[in-house]
Amino acid sequence: MNLRRAIFSMLFVILGHTCLHADIEFVGVSIENSETKIALVETTSGSSKWIKLGGQFTGYTVASYDETAKSVLLAKEGVELRITLKPSKIEPAAPPDSPQFVEYIIKPGDIPAKIAQAQGLTIAEFQALNPEVNWSKLKVGQKIRIK
């Protein structure tokens, strides 16, 4: 009787983890400045979140990302689940600390005032978007932010 109960308990744990796995989709990856963030979606609720490696999602730890296989390894209570990247109907939001910018490539004859005016920006707004730019040394082909 105890053996039957032990087998039932193990099956319940394994099937429980499998069911949870079916409710999680891996829908995106962002690698910036050597930091990897994984976009996961819980399909039953539709909630999505960008998680750094080592972070938690629905009780699972995001253990690793395999660039070659385009898969993520989740771990929970000694059980590991590998989920392959697949398209999802639910689009993850952009990582909150990764602002989306529009870039402009400097062309011959471009000057900051001309670029700012063409974009409907003041010089101060334009310079605030590009704090690292040395405005007296712009080069043709250089990328700057315009939005």
Residues 13 and 78 in one domain: yes
Flag whether 73 is in a domain: yes
Residues 50 and 112 in one domain: no
Two tokens, residue 131: 């704090």
User: What are residue 36's DSSP bridge partners?
Assistant: 31
Residues 80 and 107 in one domain: no
Residues 44 and 114 in one domain: no
Coil, strand or helix: which one is 125?
helix
User: What are residue 41's DSSP bridge partners?
Assistant: 25, 48
3-state SS string over 101-119? CCEEECCCCCCHHHHHHHH
Residues 74 and 15 in one domain: yes
Residues 14 and 61 in one domain: yes
Residues 8 and 63 in one domain: yes
Residues 16 and 74 in one domain: yes
What pLDDT, in 10s, does the model give residues 91-141? 555 555 555 678 888 888 888 888 888 888 887 887 888 888 887 888 888
What pLDDT, in 10s, does the model give residues 16-73? 444 444 578 887 777 777 788 888 877 777 777 888 889 988 888 899 888 888 888 8
Please report the pLDDT score of residue 4 as a whole number. 60
Flag whether 91 is in a domain: no
* CB-CB contact of 98 with 30 (8 Å): yes
Residues 77 and 8 in one domain: yes
Q: Which domain covers residue 116, as residue numbers?
A: 103-145
Flag whether 90 is in a domain: no
Half-sphere exposure of 63 (CA within 13 A, CB side): 14
Residues 18 and 65 in one domain: yes
Residues 112 and 78 in one domain: no
Residues 48 and 14 in one domain: yes
Task: State how many domains the chain has.
Answer: 2
Q: Please give the model's pTM, rounded to 2 decimal places.
A: 0.46
